[in-house]
Amino acid sequence: MDFNVKKLASGAGLFFTRAVQFTEEKLGQAEKTELDAHFENLISRADCTKNWTEKIYRQTEVLLQPNPSSRIEEFLYEKLDRKAPARDTNAELLGQYMQEAANEFGPNAPYGSTLIKVGECERRLGAAEREFLQTSAISFLTPLRNFLEGDWKTISKERRLLENLRLDLDASKARLKKAKVAEAKAAMAPDFQETRPRNYVLSASASAAEQELRMAQTEFDRQAEVTRLLLEGISSTHVNHLRCLHEFVEAQATYYKQCHLHMQELQKELGRLPNAFTLNTTPSNAVTGPAAEGIDTVETDTLTIEEVQAPATGTRKAKVLYDYDAADSSELSLLADELITVYTVPGMDSDWLIGERGNQKGKVPVTYLELLS
């Protein structure tokens, strides 16, 4: 108990001494030991690294998981050291709803069969997104979090210890200075009745202050070297984060490439759905319905691509955005970045145009084109 009381009193005295030194420095009444320029640059670089790493980490979290409630849930599971439950991505949910709707509308109907195709694509997009999220969390987010929660906490702890030892060192310098000033005053104005004991006490006080200063200087120098080594390790942190950044970019490139391929495949599948897009014109005076009973034949004119003629006005130039392989002889194959002439004809589906390139002619999907003025 006595030991604890003494230790508590010693700690309180040390805290008070540091507080007085810190206050006097702020008021300009005490000198402060300045660190060398290289050390200050290391500190500034470390602070800059911590601040920007924290911002990049937080924003990457928002990018990978925009829902703040989900981020809080994942954070709580992580702190509780429990695995978060599996959650479908938004694209997977959309694909599921589309497929369920297709079953309600009829999977053989044009709308239902299209919903099934799009739903399957959305689920593939969701699976690609899930893989991207997992890869990014492991290769990019985890190293950034390890730095903020590990290396940076160690650096901050050693810097606080260095600052405390610096306050102790400056307080020791102030005490030694006061002791020497008092000893000099005593030497200039001696008291002949108590000269020897008084000078002896002042001399002993100055010697004790010098010894205390040497110890404080040794501890400060040792801690400064430890802190310097940790701060210089920030360069290795930059190298590690650079490697992680390359892996993150690679994961993004793979994800967007997969999405692009899935969407291209979907566009081709939609363009090949049977009876989805036909160039069919029926005269307005054709006999249809019950009135057609008893008639052997009904004249129905099917407009072939070769019979389609470009209108006198209404043609436009279009730039091809992606390569397209014609599904049959009625379509025109396209190459990315080429320019073609396009126009529409009566009775044609709005998702398709007639494209001409030289002597070649055929249907082309609107989604593959950028119409020019």
> What one-character-per-residue DSSP string does 187-241 give?
HHS--TTSHHHHHHHHHHHHHHHHHHHHHHHHHHHHHHHHHHHHHHTHHHHHHHH
How far is residue 141's CA from residue 135's CA, in Å, rounded to a whole number? 9
- Confidence at 24, pLDDT banded by 50, 70, 90: low
- CATH for 335: 2.30.30.40
Lowest-pLDDT choice from 38-52, 188-202, 208-222, 349-363: 188-202
pLDDT tens-digit map of 267-320:
888 887 654 444 444 444 444 444 444 444 434 344 466 566 667 567 889 999
Q: Does the residue 308 lie in any domain?
A: no
Percent of the chain topping pLDDT 90: 40
Most confident among 57-66, 109-118, 237-246 (mean pLDDT): 237-246
Same domain, 259 and 200: yes
Give the mean model confidence (pLDDT) for residues 13-38. Answer: 71
Domain boundary (219, 251, 272) is at 272
Top pLDDT among 167 and 20 is at 167
* Domain housing 230: 10-272
Q: In terms of domains, do 105 and 176 share one?
A: yes
Residues 265 and 326 in one domain: no
The residue assigned the tokens 């993150």 is: 248
Which of 246, 272, 298 represents a domain boundary (last residue)?
272
CA distances from 107 to 110, 113, 179, 293, 358 (A): 8, 5, 97, 32, 40
CATH of the domain at 220: 1.20.1270.60
CA distance 303 to 278: 9
Residues 212 and 92 grouped into a single domain = yes
Q: Does pTM surpass 0.85?
A: no
Q: Looking at 219, 246, 272, which one is the last position of a domain? A: 272
Sign of CA dihedral 166, 170, 176, 179: negative
DSSP code at position 289: G
Distances (CA, A) of 256 to 109, 136, 248: 32, 13, 12
Same domain, 61 and 206: yes
- My answer on whether 216 and 337 are in the same domain is no
- Per the structure, the count of domains in the chain is 2
CA pseudo-torsion sign 312, 315, 317, 318: negative
Residue 75 has a pLDDT of: 65
**Poorest-confidence range of 197-206, 263-272, 316-325?**
197-206
Higher pLDDT, 32 or 147: 147
Asked if the structure places residue 331 within a domain, the reply is: yes
**Does a structural domain hold residue 5?**
no
**pLDDT for 17:** 72
Q: In a 3-state reduction of DSSP, which class is residue 324?
A: strand
Q: Is 286 contained in some domain?
A: no
Per-residue model confidence (pLDDT) at position 38: 93
pLDDT of residue 1: 47
Model pLDDT, residue 264: 92
Question: Are 245 and 148 in a shared domain?
Answer: yes
Structure tokens of 47?
């602070």
16 and 72 share one domain: yes
Number of other residues whose CB lies within 10 A of the CB of residue 141: 18
Q: Which residue has the higher pLDDT, 373 or 215?
A: 215
Nearest Cα neighbor of 364 from 273, 280, 274, 343 is 343
Whether residue 231 is contained in a domain is answered as yes
